[in-house]
Amino acid sequence: MSLLTLVIVLCLATMAVLSVSTAQATFAATERQASFTDDTYKNETAAQRFVAGVDGVLNEVRSGQRTGTSSIAAIAGELPALAASVSEDGVAAQASIEGAVVHATFSTESGRSLEIELTVKNGRTYEITQWKATTQWNEEGGGETLWSPSA
């Protein structure tokens, strides 16, 4: 009877250790996913603000508040201010213009980035031609230990 009790206690102890290590692994994965999602939303918010700024500049051109200025010239003049205005909450913004195409990249320290491209049309409107989220691969990782023999 004592041998059976000893085997049961050893099985329960093994199950307890496996349960704790699985819970720790799940917690670490959940934390990484939460950070990833947070950075994605930060980039999306910054990009939406940037597009709203470009739309505001084009609206001023359409309404005649910027007379004698083409749509492209008006946007080019405001690009540095637009990029700086959305660079907050850990998001870095870079913007450039080539012809009638506005390129902007929003990135966080974690390597998550969002690249957008707006094509300015003749009627002083724009079309979103690219909206691509990417992640820069980091071989080093965050150093999380999912399981260690000492746990």
Is the per-residue pLDDT at 67 higher than 90?
no
Whole-structure pTM value: 0.75
> Which one, of 51, 60, 56, 62, lies nearest residue 119 by Cα?
51
Residue range 32-66, pLDDT digits in tens: 889 889 999 999 999 999 999 999 999 988 888 87
Is the per-residue pLDDT at 151 higher than 50?
no
Dmax (CA) of the chain: 97
For the chain, give the mean pLDDT: 87
**pLDDT (average), residues 58-75:** 84
Write down all domains in the chain, each with its CATH number in brackets: 41-135 (3.10.450)
Q: Say how far apart CA 22 and CA 10 lie, in whole Å.
A: 18
The full DSSP string for 15-42 is HHHHHHHHHHHHHHHHHHHHHHHHHHHH
